[in-house]
Structure 1
Amino acid sequence: MHIDRAVAAASAGSAQAAPIAVRLPPLRFNYNVLIKLSFFLFVVCGAIALVEPSPYDFASFLTIGLWFLGGFRVHRFILAFLALIFVYNFGGFVALLPYLNEPDPTLFMLQSLYLAITAVFFALFFAENTLARAELCLKAYAFSTVVAAACGILGYFNIGGTEDLFSKYGRASGTFKDPNVLGSYLIMGALYFIQSLILRRTRHLLLTLSALFIVVAGIFLSFSRGSWGAFIVAALMTMVFAFHSNRDARVRRRIVVMAAVAVGVALIGIVLLLSIDSTREFFLQRASVTQEYDEGETGRFGNQLRSLPMLLDRLNGFGPLRFRLIFDLDPHNSYINSFASYGWLGGSAFLLMVGLTIFIGFRLALARSPYARIAHVYWPALFVFLMQGFQIDIDHWRHVYLMLGAVWGIETARIRWLERPAWVERPVGLRQSSGRLPSR
C-alpha cells in the first residue's frame, strides 16, 4: 500500500519535471483566399472618398502587391489597352513639363498615372479566373453602394446630426465629397440588384428589394441630373441585354415581370421622397435641363465652346489643371479636358481608347459567351459614364477605372474562350461538358 503511493508520487514528480511536448500544426495560409479577401476590401473601400488619400488607395497597394507576387499573364489582346492608356498619360506628362514647379498640376498627373495603373491591374486581374473574380467584385461593390447610399440618406435627413458629414449643398453626398460622384457610383450596385431580381439569382428576395430601394433613393437624393439619366439608361440596357440573351419564352416572361417589379420598387421610393415638400421643390429646381451656371458665354457650355479654337493652336493643350485658370471653371467635359490637360497626343489616345471600349463593350454584351451575364452589369455602367463625360469630368473617378479595366479584362477572357473554348472555366448553370455554349 505504501509502495503504491510512493510509485504514484514518483510518477507525478517525474511528470512535473518532464512536461509532455505538444506538437502544433505548422502555420499555413491560402494565397488565393488572401487575394480574395484583400480584393474584396479594396473594392469596398472605393465607396470611401471623404479623405485623401482614401482607404481605397492604401488597399490598392496591398492588393496589387499581393497579386503581383503571385505572377500574371498578359494576353496579346490587352496590349492595345495598355498602349493607349500609356500614351494618354505620356501626353499629360509632356503637357506638364512647363509647370513642373507647380504642385497641383504635378499631383494631378501623378494621380492620373496611379489610376491608370489600377485600370491595368483590373484588366489583367479580370482576364484570369474571370467569372469568380468578376462576381466577387460585383458583390463587394454592391455592398459598398448600400453603405454609401444609406449614409447619404442619413445625411440628407440629418439623422443623428450627420448632415454636415454626409450631405453637401442640400444634396446627399454620403461617403463622397461630391453628390454627383455619389449618384454615379451607386449605379452599378443598382444594376447588380436589378439583374439579380430579373434573373432570380438571389435567395433573399426581400433583402435584395430593400437594397435596391436604398440605392435608388441614394441616387435620387444626390439630385445629380447626370446620375438620374445615366441610371435610367443603364437599367434599361441591363434589362434589354438580359431579354436578348435568353431565348426561352418562360425566362423572358419572368424577366419582364421582375423588371416591372424592380421598376415599381424604384418608383415607390421616388414617390415617397417626393411627398416631402422640401424634396419636391428641390427636385423641380434640379430637374430643369440647364442651371444658371450652365448658360451664357462664361457658363459651362460657353467656356467649352470658347476653348475649342484656342486648343486648335496648342499642341500640348493648356496643361494639367490650366483650364480653370483661363476660364475660372473646370471644363466639366472629359473629352475637352483630355485635350486641354493632356495635349493632342493624350487627347487623341483618350478618344481612341473610348471608341475601342465602346466597340468591345457592345460586342461583349451582345455576343453569346460564358461572360455575357456579368458584362450586362459592367458594360452599361461604364457606357453611361463615358456618355456622362460630355457633361462632367470623369477622368479621375476611381470606379470608372475599375469598370474600364474590368470590361477589357472580361473581353480578353472571351477572346481566349473563342480561341480555346474547352479551356475556359465552366459558367454556372450551363450543362455542356465541353464548356461551349450552344449555337455560339
Structure 2
Amino acid sequence: MVAGTGVVGTEPVTRRGTGLPVLVLSLGLATVPSAAAGGSVVLTAAAVVLGAVVAAAVAVRLRLSLVELLVVALPVHFYPPGRGSLVNLSLADGVLVLMLLAAAGRAALQRRSPRGPAGPTWPLLVGYTVVLQLVLWASLVGPVLLGGADFPGGAAAAVKIALACAYLLVLYAAVAPRVRAGDRRVLEIWAATATASALIGIGASALYAAGVDLGLSYFWRASGTFEDPNAFSVYLLLSLGVVVAAHRDRTGRPWSWQVPVIVVAVVLTGSRAAMAAMALAAVVTVVLTLGTRAGPTFRRLLVGTAVLGVLAVVILPDAWVGEVLQRATSVFVPDAGAAPDQRYQLWSVAVQQWASSPVLGVGAGQYVPVAQQLLGPQWDTIPHNTYLGFLAETGIVGLLVFLVVPALVVTRLLRATRAGDGDAPYLLLSVLALLMQAFTLSLENTRPMWAVLGLMLALYDPGPPGAEKPPGPATVHGRGLPHSSSARRGLRWS
C-alpha cells in the first residue's frame, strides 16, 4: 500500500454526509452580497461579515474542523473596492489566521515551540518557503540600489507569495496527521464544496443566458464563487481529481454525477486556457498510466465524461453554449486584421526582462514597472505566464526554486500510480492541468493552487522514519472506507 493512501481502523465507521445542499446555500449567501456590492466599501464589508457568519453556521451544522472550514471558505473570493484586479481576498484568509493563532496559542500554553508534523516533508516545505522568500527579497536588492525600482510593489509581491505558501504549509500540517490516522474526510469536504461552487456557477450562467444577472457570472462566463472566470476554472480543474478520489473512498468507484458537473462548469467559464489544459492533461495522463492497474478505469471514465460533454453541447440551448463554443474556437479562427495575441507580447517582454538579468531577474513585482519603462505607462498587465513571470522577476534561480514543490507532487503521484494507487491518476490529472494552465495564467498567488499542493503532499506523505503502515481499511458493507470518527468533535486545528 502506498504511504498516505491507506486507511486504518478495524471497527465499523459511522459516516456523516457533507451536506451538499447546505454548502450550495451557504456559498451562495456568502457570495451574492459581495457580487452585488457594486464597489461599495460598506456593502462589501457587510458581505464579508455575512459570509463569516454563514461560514460559522456551516461549521457548526457540519461539525467542521478548522482545516475543513478553511476548505469550505477557500473558493469564496472577492476584490476589495478601489483596488481593481490587483488584490483579491478570500474568506479562507480569516480562517487561515485563526488556525495560525490557534497553533501559536496552543504552543504558548504548552510552553514549547510550535512543532510541525513528523516526517521528511515538513522541514522540506518550511525550507522551501524560507528559501523562496529569500530569493524574492534578494531579487529586489540590485534594482533598489540602482534606483527606479518599485520597492513597495516588490514587497507586496513577496508578502502575497508568503500568504500563498501559508496555505501550502497549513494544508500539509493539518491533513498529514489525519491521513496517517486513516481520516480522509477533508477530501469529501473539498469535493462537496467544489461541487457546490460549480452548481452555483452553472446556475448563474444559465440565468444570465435567460436574462437574469445575479452578479455571479462575468457576462455569460461562469465565475461561481469567484469574481474571475479564469480563477474559477483553475479551482474547478484542481478539484476534479479530488472529487473522484473522495467518491472512490466512499464507494470504491470513480464515476459520480459530480464529475460532469465540474467539467460542464469548466466549459462554461469560457476559459480557453482551462479547456486546452483539461484536454492536454487528459492525454498526458493516459500516456503516463499505460500499463498501470488503474489505467483502464481511468480511460473509461475519461471517455464517458467526454461523451457526456459532447451530448451536453448538442442538447443545451444555443443561447447558453453558443458563446462558449465561439470563444473556444476563436483561437483557431482569429478576426481578420486583428493584432497579434496580447499574450505573446506579454511573454516577449518577460523574456527580454530575463535576458537583461538572467540570474535574479529584474526584481519581484517589477514586471509591470520595467515594462512601462520600456513601452510606456499604458502597459499595466501582468505576464499571464507563471513560469515566465518568475523567470523575468526572479531569474533562473527563482524559477528553479518555485518548481521544487510542483515537481515533488508530480513525482509522488507518478510513483503512487505505478504502485497501483487508484486515486493517483485522477489527482495527477488535476495537477498536470494546473501546471499547463500556468503557461497562460499568472497563478503564483492563487490560494487553491498552493492549498491543493499541500493536500497532495499530505495524502502521499512518506511519513516519519520507521512509522508503521496502516494495518488495513475499515469496511462498511464490504467497501474500504476511511476511518473518520475522529472528525466529529467540532472545531479543532486539524
Alpha-carbon distance in 2 for matches of 1:384, 1:115: 19
The residue identity in structure 2 corresponding to 1:76 is P
The aligned residue for residue 110 of structure 1 is: 159
Please, which of 56, 61, 66 is the counterpart of residue 92 of structure 2?
56
The residue identity in structure 1 corresponding to 2:186 is C
The alpha-carbon distance between structure 1 residues 204 and 95, as it changes in their structure 2 partners (threshold 3 A), is: closer
The aligned residue for residue 312 of structure 2 is: 269
The alpha-carbon distance between structure 1 residues 34 and 411, as it changes in their structure 2 partners (threshold 3 A), is: same
The aligned residue for residue 41 of structure 1 is: 69
The alpha-carbon distance between structure 1 residues 192 and 298, as it changes in their structure 2 partners (threshold 3 A), is: closer
Structure 2 length-normalised TM: 0.66
CA deviation digits over 1:103-132, x for unaligned, max 9? 444333211111112212223333323166
The aligned residue for residue 170 of structure 1 is: 220
The aligned residue for residue 411 of structure 2 is: 359
Q: Give the 5 Å matches for 1:39-438.
A: 39-51=67-79, 52-67=88-103, 69=106, 71-96=115-140, 98=144, 103-130=152-179, 135-158=184-207, 163=213, 165-194=215-244, 201-202=250-251, 208-209=256-257, 211-234=258-281, 246=293, 260-273=303-316, 275-277=317-319, 279-289=321-331, 299-314=342-357, 315-325=359-369, 326=371, 328=379, 329-368=381-420, 372-412=421-461, 414=462, 416=464, 420=466, 422-424=468-470, 426-428=472-474
The secondary structure found in structure 1 opposite 2:215 is helix
8 Å contact from structure 1 (residues 191, 377) kept in 2: yes
CA deviation digits over 1:225-275, x for unaligned, max 9? 12113334555677888886548xxxx8877666654444333333333x4
The alpha-carbon distance between structure 1 residues 431 and 204, as it changes in their structure 2 partners (threshold 3 A), is: closer
The residue identity in structure 2 corresponding to 1:60 is L
Alpha-carbon distance in 1 for matches of 2:230, 2:159: 23
The alpha-carbon distance between structure 1 residues 258 and 408, as it changes in their structure 2 partners (threshold 3 A), is: closer
Q: CA deviation at 1:402?
A: 1.1
The secondary structure found in structure 2 opposite 1:128 is helix
8 Å contact from structure 1 (residues 239, 259) kept in 2: no
The aligned residue for residue 111 of structure 2 is: none
8 Å contact from structure 1 (residues 91, 343) kept in 2: no
Question: Larger helix proportion, structure 1 or 2?
Answer: 1
CA deviation digits over 1:332-357, x for unaligned, max 9? 11111112233443223123444444
8 Å contact from structure 2 (residues 178, 184) kept in 1: no
The secondary structure found in structure 1 opposite 2:77 is coil
Q: CA deviation at 1:42?
A: 0.6
8 Å contact from structure 1 (residues 126, 133) kept in 2: no
Q: CA deviation at 1:278?
A: 5.8
Alpha-carbon distance in 2 for matches of 1:57, 1:338: 24
Alpha-carbon distance in 1 for matches of 2:285, 2:100: 30
The residue identity in structure 2 corresponding to 1:422 is E
The aligned residue for residue 12 of structure 1 is: none
The residue identity in structure 2 corresponding to 1:286 is A
CA deviation digits over 1:161-201, x for unaligned, max 9? 7636211153111111211111121124333444566x594
Alpha-carbon distance in 2 for matches of 1:67, 1:192: 27
8 Å contact from structure 1 (residues 155, 172) kept in 2: yes
The secondary structure found in structure 2 opposite 1:177 is coil
The alpha-carbon distance between structure 1 residues 391 and 165, as it changes in their structure 2 partners (threshold 3 A), is: same
Alpha-carbon distance in 2 for matches of 1:44, 1:202: 23
CA deviation digits over 1:304-355, x for unaligned, max 9? 2343243233244222332223162211111111122334432231234444
Q: CA deviation at 1:44?
A: 1.0
Q: CA deviation at 1:223?
A: 0.7
Q: Give the 5 Å matches for 1:21-36.
A: none
Alpha-carbon distance in 2 for matches of 1:244, 1:378: 18
The secondary structure found in structure 2 opposite 1:212 is helix
Give the number of the structure with larger relative contact order, counting CA–CA contacts within 8 Å between residues 6 or more apart. Answer: 2
8 Å contact from structure 1 (residues 219, 227) kept in 2: yes
8 Å contact from structure 2 (residues 201, 217) kept in 1: yes
Alpha-carbon distance in 2 for matches of 1:46, 1:358: 23
Structure 1 length-normalised TM: 0.73
Alpha-carbon distance in 2 for matches of 1:278, 1:162: 13
- Identity of paired residues, percent? 18
The alpha-carbon distance between structure 1 residues 255 and 187, as it changes in their structure 2 partners (threshold 3 A), is: closer
The alpha-carbon distance between structure 1 residues 341 and 256, as it changes in their structure 2 partners (threshold 3 A), is: closer
**Which ranges of structure 2 fall in alignment gaps of 5 or more residues?**
1-60, 80-87, 108-114, 481-494
The aligned residue for residue 10 of structure 1 is: none
The alpha-carbon distance between structure 1 residues 129 and 201, as it changes in their structure 2 partners (threshold 3 A), is: closer
Q: CA RMSD in A?
A: 3.9
The residue identity in structure 2 corresponding to 1:228 is M
8 Å contact from structure 2 (residues 70, 96) kept in 1: yes
The alpha-carbon distance between structure 1 residues 254 and 119, as it changes in their structure 2 partners (threshold 3 A), is: closer
8 Å contact from structure 2 (residues 241, 428) kept in 1: no
The secondary structure found in structure 2 opposite 1:230 is helix
8 Å contact from structure 2 (residues 74, 448) kept in 1: yes
Q: How many pairs does the alignment contain?
A: 384
8 Å contact from structure 1 (residues 192, 377) kept in 2: yes
Q: CA deviation at 1:224?
A: 0.7
The alpha-carbon distance between structure 1 residues 237 and 303, as it changes in their structure 2 partners (threshold 3 A), is: closer
The alpha-carbon distance between structure 1 residues 177 and 431, as it changes in their structure 2 partners (threshold 3 A), is: closer
